[in-house]
Amino acid sequence: MTDAAMTDASTKDAAVTTDWARLGADTMLVREPDMNPAGKWEYEDGLMLGGMLEIHRLTGDPRYLEYARANLDRFVRPDGSILGYRADEWNLDHVNNGKVALDLYEATGDERYLKAADLLFAQLLGQPRLDAGTFWHKQIYPYQTWLDGLYMGSVFYARYCRLTGRDDLWDDVALQFTTAYALTLEPSGLCAHAYDETRSMPWADPTTGRSPHVWLRALGWFVMAMTDVLEHLPVDLPQRAAVHQQLRSLLTALRSVADERTGLWFQIPDQAGRPLNYLEASGSFMVLAAVAKGLRLGYLDAAEWGAHLERAWAAGVDEFLTVTAEGWVDVNRICQVAGLGGPAQRDGSYGYYMSEPIVANDHKGVGPFLLLAAEMGRRAGSPGHRGRASDSRSTGMPSRTG
């Protein structure tokens, strides 16, 4: 067997024989018992807790549910008020953790979580909008739609409507997705990071309003959001078919720019050959989590995506995951943060996206890893199995920034 073949075989073995879901969840229990020591209400923590709850559903291990509950209870008071939350910032990022509140309400029946969700839903009812109907991303980013916001706000919007019987809002939920897709769609079939309705931002194209580049994690947020919302949109809602088709189309465009060697994706996915571009963990795991869930729920064709998912998951284990001497899993090569405008006047250029720090164990990468590991555990059909993990050293330190 050649060296390349041996490497490929060992990578596939680690991907299949290691119970990455349990390993990842157990790592969080020990390494980060307090998910946010600074006491900030941050969206990436909800992303990570969502992964922990998926692994709870997979394994039935009560420790993972209790971890989510203990950490959310540091913010959600008995009366449902939320420590550190300000509705008047009109920030869609602040809504993301509401999905965990809904999960915990459904799991425990504790009314505090529903009351917290009520607060976040009230924000959405008052959220400023573009003329096109989509939510502003934040008060400080007026008249702008960012792909990130569909995951942060609109999936919660759908889940809350379903739980509370707000059938009058389904058209508006679907509009958030179909309109964001139309506003950001590029000729390549990919979607730009953001859109400025005023076309006044320095980063906005004066004709289209779109930002200059497609960014992997923004695409990851969007395909995860579309996959999640399809679970909740009524099957007889006319716009549901449009959301489904847009998901399939966007994933097809993503597959066309996947790295030929690994099946993973670069930070700027459609410019793989440019200097400094790199295979990025958070966005790659997000796209694969959406694919895996889409296959499980029948939204995607197994003939189109099954082999790609298995190959890319094995490559992702090799490219992005290491296991420490303590037995903890590190998720490496995560873009720490990327945005547009703001005090730093981020211009959305290629150089800007390459300039942001690359870190390990940021929840924006850990969360998608946990979600994907849960889906791959379901595919394997053996959630309790733990096999051999490759043992290597971490390439970065945990980050709580951005």
| Residue bearing tokens 């571009």 | 277
Among the listed residues 135, 45, 133, the one whose alpha carbon sits nearest the alpha carbon of residue 91: 135
> Exactly one of 19, 61, 93, 148 is catalytic; which is it?
148
**C-alpha to C-alpha distances, 73 to 36, 50, 64, 112, 349, nearest whole angstrom:** 12, 15, 14, 9, 40
Asked if residue 231 lies in contact with residue 316, where contact means CB atoms within 8 angstroms, the answer is: no
Cα 209 to Cα 184: distance, rounded to the nearest angstrom: 8
Cα 193 to Cα 38: distance, rounded to the nearest angstrom: 29
Asked if residue 193 lies in contact with residue 215, where contact means CB atoms within 8 angstroms, the answer is: yes
- For residue 79, indicate whether it is catalytic: no
Cβ neighbours of 310 (radius 10 Å): 17
Asked if residue 100 lies in contact with residue 145, where contact means CB atoms within 8 angstroms, the answer is: no
Question: What angle, 0 to 180 degrees and rounded to 10, lies between the N-to-C axes of helices 363-380 and 302-320?
Answer: 130
Among the listed residues 160, 155, 152, 284, the one whose alpha carbon sits nearest the alpha carbon of residue 215: 284
Asked if residue 369 lies in contact with residue 51, where contact means CB atoms within 8 angstroms, the answer is: yes
Cα 253 to Cα 245: distance, rounded to the nearest angstrom: 12
In the structure encoding, which two tokens stand for residue 195, read together?
A: 């859109």
Cα 75 to Cα 232: distance, rounded to the nearest angstrom: 27
- At position 10, the amino acid (one-letter code) is S
Among the listed residues 325, 326, 328, the one whose alpha carbon sits nearest the alpha carbon of residue 369: 328
Among the listed residues 316, 190, 192, the one whose alpha carbon sits nearest the alpha carbon of residue 256: 190
- At position 181, the amino acid (one-letter code) is Y
Provide Rg for the chain, Cα atoms. Answer: 20
Asked if residue 326 lies in contact with residue 23, where contact means CB atoms within 8 angstroms, the answer is: no
**C-alpha to C-alpha distances, 374 to 131, 183, 188, 229, 353, nearest whole angstrom:** 39, 33, 31, 18, 29
In the structure encoding, which two tokens stand for residue 50, read together?
A: 């969502």
Q: Which residues carry out catalysis?
A: 148
